[in-house]
Amino acid sequence: LGEICFAGRSNVGKSTLLNNIFGKKLAYVSKTPGKTRAINFYIVNGKYYFVDLPGYGFALRSKEERMRWKNLIETYFRIRRDQIKSAVLIVDGRLEPQQSDKMFVEWCDYYGINVIIVASKVDKVSKSQIGLIKEKFEREFGREVLPYSGVTKFGLSEVVEKIRSCLENAGA
Ligand code: GDP
């Protein structure tokens, strides 16, 4: 089975996005940053896995925690490399591009894993800013970035379409 993994800093809206994609309560939506510490696999249509990676960023306060997270992700990438069709990285569209997100993209590049970047929470910025945010993140990450809101569902269909085409192209 092929799989697609979801990553992002804690509280960025990853669980909300997963729930929006499935249209039902799939992942636990938490108000407490960093609740999910395990890798959760969800089987979809009996055809592929959606993999929920633990959130990272400000919730990983100690060096020990950061190392643990790094080891977890690198082990996951190594073991599942051939099954992973794409990673979806959710970033906070209201903030400047974060070092931890850039690091995640670098790991994906190193392992040859395609990354779909989603800039979330754009309901918090004015409509006229959304295009600028997209451009800023695309410059920073050197690839396409999809603006999205889990509240208004702005951009949701584009995200779903992107994931669908990644899975189809990969023959999953
Ligand atoms: P996770 O830790 O990345 O899984 O984040 P959650 O999905 O649990 O969301 C964290 C908080 O952000 C919750 O209070 C959500 O209601 C809120 N949230 C999620 N997505 C959005 C969004 O697109 N816009 C806004 N304004 N809030 C969001």
Angle, CA of 93, 51 and 157, to the nearest 5°: 50
In ligand 1, the atom with minimum distance to the C-alpha of 11 is: 2
Q: Which of 6, 9, 10, 11 to mutate to test the pocket of ligand 1 (most atoms within 8 A of CB)?
A: 11
pLDDT at 25 over 70: no
pLDDT in tens, 64-123: 888 888 888 999 999 999 999 999 999 999 999 998 899 899 999 999 999 999 999 999
- In CATH terms, the fold of domain 2-169 is Rossmann fold (3.40.50)
Q: Rounded CA gap, 4 and 38, in Å?
A: 16
Give the per-residue pLDDT at 44: 83
Q: Rounded CA gap, 115 and 107, in Å?
A: 10
Ligand 1 proximity of 12 Cβ (cutoff 6 Å): yes
* Domain boundaries of the chain, sorted by first residue: 2-169
Residue 58: in which H helix or E strand, if any? none
ipTM of the complex: 0.98
